[in-house]
A and B are shown apart, each in its own frame.
Chain A
Amino acid sequence: MTIARKSVVWGLFAAGGTISAFLFPVVIALFLLVALGYVPRGLEFDSLHAFASHWVGKSALFLVIFLSLWHAAHRLRVVFHDFGVRRDKAVANAVYLVAALGTFMTAFYLYRI
């Protein structure tokens, strides 16, 4: 027997959970501010575009979205299992496919910037 690949999956899940636990409250708060009509200076096109053009900003954005997507996908898989859906392989393939799609889209858009 060998250590299952699940250890890699779990590692990404844990990293994504930590990142999203720390960062998403302020992300949601920023979305709330925008929704209320207040667009802070850093979220205007020029500043945000400049941030995402720099390799630091690009990598940060990629890492945050990639890991959070993975975290959400893996947890959703567990949620399906907890809700009594017993087709684990099918669920796993579906959620990870969506996460992979999201990751690809993120990389694609960041590359364009």
Chain B
Amino acid sequence: MKLKSRQLELEVLRYDPEKDSEPHFQSYSVSCPEDWAILDALNYVKENLDTTLSYRWSCHMMVCGSCGMMVNGEPSLTCKTFIRDLPDKVRIEPLQNFPIERDLVVVLDDVMEKLQLAQPWIIREDDPPPADEEYTQSRAALYKFKQYTMCINCMCCYAACPQYGLDPKFIGPAALALAHRYNLDSRDQGKSQRLDILADHDGVWDCSFVGACSEVCPKSVDPAAAIQQMKVDGAIEWWKQKLPGGKP
């Protein structure tokens, strides 16, 4: 049984840092079987039409987060965006709000640094359990933060966030969702420490709850929810620190 094919016209943003002064679109016409993802079409282009096309991809199954791009203006994982859901003309650009390294590859250094600001590790004030015991955590305690562990760092949320686009100093959705994942973890005791950084300038307060991040997240992490909850936490924490017994 042969799958039906559709002729797609791909308009891909190209940029060669050694030759071009600015990016430009290049068109490729590809016959796509109806079960293809747009990533398959890109791979076809690279293998058969234009080997100079550069882009990131790896797992092709929505777990590595490498293949994030703008597909018809929408930040998407190209391995999760299917031909059957797309019109015949498809515009493919590198992720919005990031500098273009080459073709569809963006510079992600800024966000990689910001992920560190979330202090994404268990912070303890008490001693850890002895070597022959483990931290116990009930299923209920796990499910409290599990959805925020699903982030694959694809950065589609940063591409969707207009506040990050307007001011790249903003820490941004993924870093904040990551911090929240640890704040909600019952084994962690570092919420105050994290909030000191995240509830400072360029932290959570730059978010105006556009909500685009959660709408484009391919793993349903819901960073917008994490950020609003952190605003509440930050507000409460401010009062706790002002009360007697709080930090100076």
A interface residues with partner B (beta carbon < 8 Å): 1-11, 14, 78, 81-82
Contacts and interface: CB of A to CB of B under 8 A. Distances in A.
A11 B199 CA distance: 13
By DSSP majority rule, is chain A's interface helix, strand, loop, or mixed? helix
B162 A6 contact: no
A1 B199 CA distance: 9
A3 B232 CA distance: 12
Nearest to B201: A4
| Among B162, B195, B199, B237: residue with most chain A CB under 10 A | B199
A3 B208 contact: no
B55 to A, nearest CB: 32
A78 B208 contact: yes
Contacts of A7: 199, 205, 231, 234-235, 237-238
A2 B166 CA distance: 25
A73 to B, nearest CB: 14
Interface in B196-222: 196-197, 199-201, 203, 205, 208
Interface in B143-180: 162, 166
Q: Which of B203, B205, B235, B241 has the most CB of A within 10 A?
A: B235
B200 A4 contact: yes
A3 B201 contact: no
A10 B205 contact: yes
A3 B234 CA distance: 7
A10 B205 CA distance: 8
B107 to A, nearest CB: 24
Given A1-B196, A4-B199, A6-B201, 12 more contacts: A1-B200, A2-B196, A2-B241, A3-B200, A4-B200, A5-B238, A6-B199, A7-B231, A10-B231, A10-B234, A82-B162, A82-B208
Contacts of B196: 1-3
Given A10-B231, A82-B208, A3 B166 contact: no
Contacts of A4: 199-201, 203, 205
A82 B203 CA distance: 17
A5 B237 CA distance: 11
A106 B14 CA distance: 59
Nearest to A75: B208
A10 B208 contact: no
A1 B171 CA distance: 15
B235 A81 contact: no
A103 to B, nearest CB: 20
Contacts of B162: 82
A11 B205 CA distance: 11
Interface string B224-248: 0000000110110110010000000
Contacts of B201: 4, 6
Contacts of A9: 205
Contacts of A81: 166
Nearest to A81: B166
A59 to B, nearest CB: 21
A10 B162 CA distance: 19
A3 B193 CA distance: 10
Contacts of A1: 196-197, 200
